[in-house]
Structure 1
Amino acid sequence: MDQVAMVFLNGEYLPLEDAKIPVLDRGFIFGDGVYEVVPVYSKVAFRLDEHLARLERSLAAVGIRNPYTREQWRGFVEGIVARQSFEDQAVYFQVTRGVAKRDHAFPKNAQPTVFMMSNPLVPPAPAVVEAGAAAITAQDNRWHRCDIKSISLIGNVLLRQLSAEADATETILFRDGKLTVASASNVFMVKDGVIYSPPKNELIMPGITYDVVVELARANKMPLEFDAI
């Protein structure tokens, strides 16, 4: 069976090979849309409400109408998870502004396009867990609204390619000499028993994992500091 056998498109579950999106969709033309990725363990979505809340914030920030209620979104995610054969998954879904003639201004009557798929969630290799992952550093040249989970990811793509060419796992980013994030990760630093991280702002994706790390650190009485690094 194909690893991505069934997908969700605009209210319908169907085989991946049958899913079709018009070429005038603004997600294809402009990268005009937002997305989420939800980890799933033993077919249970992790922190789904937090992911859906972030999706709602991203949609509001870019002025795309949310086509579904929170309960409907929850049902669609559970539906795509149930249709896969693997237990641990990474559910990807995106909402674009829809199909319209090519014009930068928002179309008046376009219906949002919703696409969802799930892939196996691959854990880090034991060697990486044991010894750590290699990383390089680079200048953070992404746009200034990184708190929006936009599908326009060419900046992240180029930064991730830098690490791939260097046989590294990640690219850690600095803007004006200060740490922001990595190309696809939040960053924490431990020094003298204190956990440091840049505070959340428009240059940093408000990661769900970021929140979990903070919660666990506080629950275990570990000192935390949020400041420019």
Structure 2
Amino acid sequence: MSTVLMNGVFIPREEAKVDIEDRGYQFGDGIYEVIRVYNGKMFTAKEHFERLQASCEKINIPISFTVDNLTVLLEELIKRNALHNGIIYMQFTRGTSPRNHAFPTKEIAPTFVAYTKELNRPVTNLSNGVTAITVEDIRWFRCDIKSLNLLGNIMAKQKAAEAGCFESIQYRDLTVTEGSSSNIWVVKDQVIRTHEANQYILNGITRQKIVEICQKQGMEVKEEAFSIEDLIDADEVFLSSTTSEVTPIITINNVPVATGEVGEITRRLQDYFKEEIIAQCGELE
């Protein structure tokens, strides 16, 4: 029987219930985070907690948990569930109150839920690469907030699934934004590019780590918008996310990216990223 963390209390998963008038259920009025766990240790936990707090502030959800509080609670959750490799999913909603579009009174406490899930590293995808399609980005204009409102992302991901692909690469007015559940990168003439961190994308934690790695390793990286044409003309394309790490994209819309092989820059970034994981969480299996 697995354990869930609900409003700061550890309870059996079977007892974890949310009221039908919880605003997360009725309005998607909340935020979430997914943290990777390797060898029973959280990877980049502090960065995830800080982004969670920032998202809460942007939509005015008051939370009383500090980074230190969350660290202690989630480490205990990992221990209770004997999680070795996997993820922690956590979310805050604005709480439970009679259905009304306007915010409830300040006396209503947010609902906090966290649970674990076993998940191994995607070694096959990392090694061989994945396929993708392009789709129009139909989401709202505050993608920097990691909100529960994921319908646009889900529709894009479903289009990829129906096309037999791993990911959809989204664009607005022919400018590439991000994947349905990832950040997108292109490499051209040894220069690495990804969309700047503004309201049109989620500033992924893995994205941030890759930028740091590039700067530390002397690899040229530019955080700036690029077009569909740049995507198609790229020497290499890859995606990044908490669960996918640094995953090569080898075909887009059934057309090979360059030679259709995983590129040298992508391989180097995979190695550097793996070193970051090992430094925080120990040797990988």
Q: After TM superposition, is the score higher than 0.5?
A: yes
Which residue in 2 is equivalent to 1:154? 151
Moved more, 30-39 or 66-75: 66-75
Q: CA deviation at 1:193?
A: 1.0
Alignment match, 1:75? 72
Tell me the TM-score normalized by structure 1.
0.95
1:114 to 81, 97, 112: 112
Q: Contact conserved, 2:142 with 2:200, CA < 8 A, in 1?
A: yes
Q: How many residues align?
A: 225
2:108 is matched by which residue type in structure 1?
A
Correspondence for 2:35 among 20, 34, 38: 38
Q: Distance in 1 between matches of 2:16 and 2:72?
A: 20
Matches within 5 A, 1:32-181: 32-108=29-105, 109-126=107-124, 128-181=125-178
Q: Is the 8 A contact 2:135 2:170 kept in 1?
A: yes
Q: C-alpha displacement at 1:116, in angstroms?
A: 0.2
Q: How big is the shift at 1:72?
A: 1.1
What CA deviation, in whole Å up to 9, does each residue of 1:83-141 have, x standing for no partner?
12231121010000000000000000211000000101222142x22321010110000
What's the C-alpha RMSD, in Å, of the aligned pairs? 1.1
Matched residues in 2 for 1:221 and 1:179: separation?
A: 25
SS at match of 1:219: helix
Alignment match of 2:5 (pick from 5, 8, 12): 8
Counterpart amino acid of residue 184 in structure 1: S
The secondary structure found in structure 1 opposite 2:109 is coil
Confirm or deny: 8 A CA contact 1:90 1:121 kept in the other structure: yes
How high is the sequence identity, in percent, across the aligned residues?
A: 38
**Contact 1:67/1:112 (<8 A) preserved:** no
The gaps in structure 1 that reach 5 residues or longer are none
Tell me if structure 2 keeps the 8 A contact 1:81–1:89: no
Secondary structure at 1:134's aligned position in 2? strand
Question: Which residue is 1:29 aligned to?
Answer: 26
* Secondary structure at 2:130 match in 1: coil
Deviations 1:14-70 (A, max 9, x none): 111111111110011111000111101111111111111101100000010113122
* Contiguous gaps of at least 5 residues in structure 2: 227-285
Moved over 2 A (4+): 128-131
Q: Indicate if the aligned counterparts of 2:83 and 2:116 stay in contact, CA closer than 8 A.
A: no
Mean CA deviation greater in 203-212 or 82-91: 82-91
2:24·2:93 contact (CA, 8 Å) conserved in 1?
yes
Q: Distance in 2 between matches of 1:129 and 1:63?
A: 38
